[in-house]
Amino acid sequence: MIALKLGVTANDVKNVIIWGNHSSTQYPDVNHAKVKLQGKEVGVYEALKDDSWLKGEFVTTVQQRGAAVIKARKLSSAMSAAKAICDHVRDIWFGTPEGEFVSMGVISDGNSYGVPDDLLYSFPVVIKNKTWKFVEGLPINDFSREKMDVTAKELTEEKETAFEFLSSA
């Protein structure tokens, strides 16, 4: 969506973050994303100059993408999930390029972003020697904090529900 809006290829956009759950609460964050425009790397916010779109339509479209794929194809979104798995395997195997990170659902233990431990939560990570590490120290604004907390709350509730089922089985 960012690439289309700016008239560049998807390869020209990097470091977009997906925080949280794989659900309609996931939060696509471009606050740290970069785009290559006319040979120069600039921040996505600076390039787009459209705060309303980035906090509105962009977020909701990404959050509803899975449902939209199913509706459009009248089939499962399994191919989209399969593509994501392939991308993750590629990233684990080859690592992330210097200065770039990817979003990956990993255990939240030890993160510096205030997300509770013991959740499988999507974070920005770098990968080297087939080992991932959290990207540390990214500033989080109030809008992002709110979105990140909503998706963490949903994951916490899902975990509690799962444990209730397990303990009653």
122: β partners: 20, 105
| Residue that has been written with the tokens 């560049």 in this structure | 8
SS3 168: helix
Catalytic residues: 22
CA–CA separation, 63 and 27 (whole Å): 7
Residue pair 36/8 in contact by the 8 Å Cβ criterion: yes
Q: Which two tokens stand for residue 114?
A: 């205030």
**The token pair that represents 7 in the structure block:** 């008239």
DSSP state for residue 33 in the 8-state scheme:
-
CA distance 156 to 120: 10
